[in-house]
Amino acid sequence: MSRFARRITQTSEKNYGMFQKAAAKSATGADLIHLELGRPCHDTPDHIKQATIKALLAGKVHYSDLQGELPLRQALQKKLAEYNNIDVTAGEILITNGLTQASYAAFMALLDEGDEAILLEPFYPQHVNKIEMTGAKVVLAPLDRDAGFSIRKDLIEAKITKNTRMIVLVNPCNPTGRVYSRAELQDLADLAIKHDLIVVSDEVYEQILFAGAEHISIASLPGMKERTITMFAFTKAYAMDGWRLGYLAADAALMPGLMKITMNEVTHVNTFIQDGALAAVTGPASVMQDMVDDDQKKRDLVVRRLNQMAGVTCAMPEGTIYAFPDISATGLTSQQAADALLDKANVVVEAGGFYGPLGDSHIRVCFGSQSYQRIEEGMDRMAGFFNAL
């Protein structure tokens, strides 16, 4: 009677990283500094909240357009054309419950049992289980660790078989903080076209860019619009992680399949929060820029301090809210380092191995989720730990 389906029993256990160990230590009353959580520290800007409250009070509490409210999709169509260089109609946009549901729809709509989906490693762990639940197989293709985790065409092409259906891209990259160049994306696009593959592109950090880094959407490259599902969210740049609001852009030919999944799963996204999303897209960009400027100050602090610690070297992230320092010179694995930092320094970071074996010489430090003072305190504690090794 209590038998679970194969999609539960024959897929890997969902891994929560340091979450459970940190929760256990926290329960003992320890004052932990959380540098593992990948969420913004800012509050959602006021004009977004006000627009949502207004919609709620005006009675926007009923079922709505299954694909998402038309004014929001029209505003996103303009944003996609101007910012991402992706030319889609409002009919080629689907509003989703965060990026999480957009990727679920993409995988469920396009992957069959026996298909292979390539994840570039280090990968974003949430993508793994969702791909497995479709019955498809996850295949890891390494990024070039010695060249700052860049995309190397031959390393990816070596993983393509007759069963490969898609490549999953995360750009800007969590956990490495890399923002891929046009040449790297062109290499990936060439592979997708040559082998007739779909690209599922997770661009949740598209607006968190530092010091002139340029975000390029792979769907904007020639021949890619029809074979790319590009996924976005209000989560990070607008500090709306708890709102659960995202969207995807895909060619009209793909939309019926994507809609079939979301309609059966959730019907559609909450109606009144879509007015908040509209205010976010059409509102002042300066509000968002202030938050990114704040993230950049924290990034500079974290990278400078990490590079002063014994056995730690850290490249400068070009985007996202993560630093991904190399700790191999300490002789510790990433899990040993993360466990010891929790035990001895009351600092929570994520082990790089959580993002695949290639990340095992690194730890991930989120600089976006705490105040500047708290991060400074975290850096003091980490320096005490590494310098005493």
Ligand X SMILES: Cc1ncc(COP(=O)(O)O)c(C=O)c1O
Task: Kindly list the residues in this chain that would bind ligand X in the complex (CB under 6 A).
Answer: 38, 98-100, 124, 170, 174, 202, 204, 233, 235, 241, 246
Residue nearer to ligand X on the CB measure, 48 or 345: 48
Please provide the DSSP assignment of 6-34 as one string.
Answer: HHHHTSPPPP-TTHHHHHHHHTTT---EE
Find the shortest distance in angstroms from Cβ 97 to ligand X: 7
Find the shortest distance in angstroms from Cβ 379 to ligand X: 22
Q: How far is 25 from 310, CA to CA, in rounded Å?
A: 26
CA contacts within 13 A on the Cβ side of 186: 4
Q: In degrees to the nearest 10, what's the CA dihedral of 337, 340, 346, 349?
A: 20
* DSSP code at position 188: H
Find the shortest distance in angstroms from Cβ 149 to ligand X: 14
Residue nearer to ligand X on the CB measure, 170 or 288: 170
Residue nearer to ligand X on the CB measure, 206 or 345: 206
Q: Which two tokens stand for residue 230?
A: 């590009």
Q: Which residue has the tokens 């949430």?
A: 126
CA distances from 364 to 147, 319, 330 (A): 18, 14, 15
Find the shortest distance in angstroms from Cβ 327 to ligand X: 21
* DSSP code at position 226: G
Residue nearer to ligand X on the CB measure, 279 or 366: 366
Q: In what order do the strands lie in the sheet with 246-249?
A: 93-96, 246-249, 228-233, 198-202, 164-170, 116-121, 137-142
Residues in Cβ contact with 26 at an 8 Å cutoff, skipping those fewer than 6 apart? 32
Find the shortest distance in angstroms from Cβ 38 to ligand X: 4
Find the shortest distance in angstroms from Cβ 204 to ligand X: 4
Find the shortest distance in angstroms from Cβ 324 to ligand X: 13
Residue nearer to ligand X on the CB measure, 68 or 98: 98
- Are 360 and 350 in contact, with CB atoms under 8 Å apart? no
Q: Which two tokens stand for residue 366?
A: 């989120």
Residue nearer to ligand X on the CB measure, 169 or 255: 169
Residue nearest to ligand X (CB): 98
- Are 195 and 153 in contact, with CB atoms under 8 Å apart? no
Radius of gyration (C-alpha) of the chain in whole angstroms:
21
Residue nearer to ligand X on the CB measure, 241 or 275: 241
Find the shortest distance in angstroms from Cβ 57 to ligand X: 26
Q: How far is 83 from 79, CA to CA, in rounded Å?
A: 6
Strand partners, 228: 199
Strand partners, 365: 323
Q: How far is 99 from 97, CA to CA, in rounded Å?
A: 7
CA contacts within 13 A on the Cβ side of 89: 6
Find the shortest distance in angstroms from Cβ 241 to ligand X: 5
Residues in Cβ contact with 76 at an 8 Å cutoff, skipping those fewer than 6 apart? 90, 93, 247, 249, 281
Find the shortest distance in angstroms from Cβ 240 to ligand X: 8
- Are 209 and 215 in contact, with CB atoms under 8 Å apart? yes
